[in-house]
């Protein structure tokens, strides 16, 4: 049977993350994988296992999550995404459906991923926090210097032990990761986007990196301290874990050669 690759976007506000969760003594939790798999099974009228590439946490969003399933599909490929969307809630959407290689593994085949963390910052006591996009951005009342944050972000690029940027119970056998690119971009006078692309990320790693860069922007950590923090391998030396709502999975890349820049749109790149 053919294998299909889906590119998925979702507002993670009302989800308990991506991964399906079915407690033994309680009803299943509302997850992106759960509602997507239910929609696909209902559409195709057969049991289908939908496997996702990245296990985003509760409250985390995505515009380029990737999933795959194998099934006998009688619907024309160009209509498949639309047909699935017709059975999905409004906070999740299949952006694209493609045929993939029979051996396509959305988890093991990923070469790099990119996340964006958005921060609204201000020192003005009467500047209101975000309202209409409050679930998509982290708001802090403290002013931050994007230039200092960018200086620090550049020092994160490389291959090294990232344990200082991971929660203690990260559950990984190795904490060595490669950061291909990390940039801080001023979006408005009071808003910045942090984009980070890497070979993979540890549990809460991007939110901790964002917290560390915010501390740099506030002047509480110097850009020159970043190499020392990495070398310490000590979680307490890095910044706080920022809340999930500012985080968005931008893309997952399955191509060859050099990884894309953090601000590219690799989810429109070559098919696996």
Buried residues in 60-79 as b, exposed as e (16+ CB within 10 A)? bbbbbbbbbbbbebeeeeee
* Cβ–Cβ under 8 Å, residues 267 and 98: no
Nearest to 240 by CA among 74, 131, 150, 119: 119
| Distances, alpha carbon 229 to alpha carbons 164, 165, 168, 209, 225, in Å | 7, 9, 16, 11, 6
Residue with tokens 């209902």: 42
Residue with tokens 């057969």: 46
- The question of whether 57 is a catalytic residue gets the answer yes
What is the DSSP secondary-structure string of 50-84?
Answer: -EES--PPTT-EEEEEEEEEE----S-HHHHHHHH
Q: Which of 11, 49, 57, 225 is flagged as catalytic?
A: 57
* Catalytic residue set: 57
């Amino acid at each position: 049977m053919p294998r299909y690759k889906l590119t998925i976007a979702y507002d993670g506000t009302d989800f308990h993350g991506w991964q399906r969760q079915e407690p033994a003594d309680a009803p299943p939790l509302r997850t992106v994988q759960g509602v997507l798999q239910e929609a696909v099974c209902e559409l195709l009228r057969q049991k289908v296992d939908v496997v996702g590439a990245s296990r985003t946490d509760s409250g985390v969003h995505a515009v380029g999550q990737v999933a795959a399933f194998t099934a006998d599909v009688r619907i024309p490929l160009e209509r498949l995404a639309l047909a699935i969307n017709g059975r999905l809630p409004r906070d999740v959407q299949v952006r694209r459906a493609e045929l993939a290689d029979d051996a396509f593994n959305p988890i093991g085949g990923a070469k790099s991923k990119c996340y964006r963390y958005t921060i609204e910052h201000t020192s003005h006591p009467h500047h209101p926090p975000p309202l209409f996009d409050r679930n998509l951005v982290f708001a802090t009342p403290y002013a931050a210097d994007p230039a200092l944050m960018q200086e620090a972000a550049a020092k994160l690029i490389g291959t090294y032990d990232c344990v200082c940027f991971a929660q203690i119970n990260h559950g990984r056998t190795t904490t060595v990761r490669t950061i291909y690119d990390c940039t801080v971009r001023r979006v408005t006078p009071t808003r910045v986007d942090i984009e980070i692309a890497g070979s993979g990320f540890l549990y809460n790693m991007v939110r901790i990196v964002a917290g560390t860069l915010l501390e740099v922007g506030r002047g509480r950590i110097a850009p020159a301290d970043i190499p020392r923090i990495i070398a310490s391998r000590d979680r307490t030396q890095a910044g706080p874990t920022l809340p999930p709502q500012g985080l968005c999975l931008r893309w997952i890349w399955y191509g060859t050669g050099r990884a894309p820049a953090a601000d590219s749109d690799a989810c429109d790149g070559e098919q696996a």
